[in-house]
């Protein structure tokens, strides 16, 4: 299909052409020179998309939600835009036999995406090679949450996601993944940490959150109308718009509770 082709299937995104790239190799090649904040933003965005995909597969079938590194690849369009792809398991029952949990899967992905100091204690040679070589057996398990340096709101969010999934490791529901997705989406497209903290302790927090939501929606509409001010690609804008349309003052307040707990 070519760009602009009409289909009757929902949730279809047509790319003019694309290539499939190994996930660790993509991160090693594309984010080698990224500054830390840009890298952490990309990690949050990628993880949010993968968790969303895992929840979709779980809610629309009997598949156990797992984010095994070998199931994740990057799709890169000829325009340079990239999207993570979670490949469905060929055998649904096989995932229950794989050791580890969804928390372990997310920690492994973060070890690939971020240059954490704790990961340098195992293996040998170039640290970047160690991040992309999933065959290396670590002499000592890395405490990913402790290894993340919470220098920005994005890194603090990733740290909270890891801890959230660990706390709900024994939960047979998808609550841990849903809470993690709320944290990531709020950090990506919600109020800044300072704004959220001030509104959360305000006596008129419901009104403050509603005003923030209304103003942010208007700003996005204005940016889209003039075609300026949105540095994000089309999919990111759509994701932000979806978040803002679905958000309410109550959902934003619940996210702040997760964020600052």
Give 199-234 pLDDT, tens digit per residue.
888 888 889 999 999 999 999 988 888 765 555 677
Does 193 have pLDDT greater than 80? Answer: yes
Closest by CA to 251, choosing from 194, 213, 219, 215, is 213
pLDDT in tens, 142-172: 788 888 888 889 999 999 999 999 888 656 6
Domain ranges of the chain: 1-185, 190-261
Reported as a single tens digit per residue, the pLDDT across 4-51 is 555 566 666 665 677 888 999 999 887 776 688 889 999 999 999 999
Q: How far apart are CA 126 and CA 111, in angstroms?
A: 15
- Dump the DSSP string for the chain: --TT---SSTT----SSEEEEEHHHHHHHHSTT--HHHHHHHHHHHHHHHHHHHHHHHHTSS------GGGEEEEEETTS-EEEEEPPPSSGGGGGGSSS-HHHHHHHHHHHHS--GGGGGSS-S-HHHHHH-TTPPPSS---HHHHS---SHHHHHHHHHHHHHHHTTT-SSSHHHHHHHHHHHHHHHS--HHHHHHHHTSTTHHHHHHHHHHHHHHHHHHHHHHT-S--S-HHHHHHHHHHHHH--HHHHHHHHHHHH-
Amino acid 124: pLDDT = 35
CATH of domain 1-185: 1.10.510
**Mean pLDDT value of segment 232-242:** 83
Mean pLDDT over residues 228-247, rounded? 80
pLDDT band at 90 (very low <50, low <70, confident <90, very high): low
Among 47-56, 64-73, 85-94, 149-158, name the one with the lowest average pLDDT.
Answer: 85-94
Cα 173 to its chain centre, rounded Å, is 19
Give the residue-averaged pLDDT of 117-137.
Answer: 44
């Amino acid at each position: 299909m070519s760009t602009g082709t009409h289909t009757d299937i929902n949730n279809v995104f047509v790319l003019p052409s694309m290539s499939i790239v190994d996930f660790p190799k993509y991160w090693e090649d594309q984010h080698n020179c990224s500054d830390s904040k840009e890298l952490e933003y990309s990690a949050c965005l990628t993880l949010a998309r993968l968790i969303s995909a895992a929840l979709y597969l779980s809610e629309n079938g009997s598949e156990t939600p797992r984010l095994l590194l070998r199931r994740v690849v990057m799709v890169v369009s000829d325009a340079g835009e990239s999207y993570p792809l979670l490949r469905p398991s060929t055998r649904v029952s096989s995932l229950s036999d794989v050791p580890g949990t969804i928390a372990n899967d997310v920690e492994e992905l973060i070890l690939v995406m971020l240059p954490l100091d704790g990961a340098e204690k195992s293996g040998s040679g170039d640290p970047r090679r160690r991040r992309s070589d999933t065959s290396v057996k670590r002499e000592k398990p890395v405490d990913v949450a402790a290894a993340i340096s919470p220098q920005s709101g994005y890194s603090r969010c990733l740290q909270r996601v890891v801890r959230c999934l660990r706390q709900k490791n024994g939960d047979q529901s998808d609550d841990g993944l849903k809470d993690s997705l709320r944290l990531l989406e709020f950090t990506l497209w919600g109020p800044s940490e300072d704004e959220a903290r001030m509104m959360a302790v305000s006596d008129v927090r419901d009104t403050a959150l509603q005003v923030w939501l209304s103003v942010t929606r208007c700003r996005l509409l204005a940016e889209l109308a003039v075609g300026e001010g949105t540095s994000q690609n089309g999919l990111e804008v759509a994701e932000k718009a979806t978040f803002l349309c679905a958000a309410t003052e109550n959902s934003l307040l619940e996210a702040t509770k997760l964020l600052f707990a």
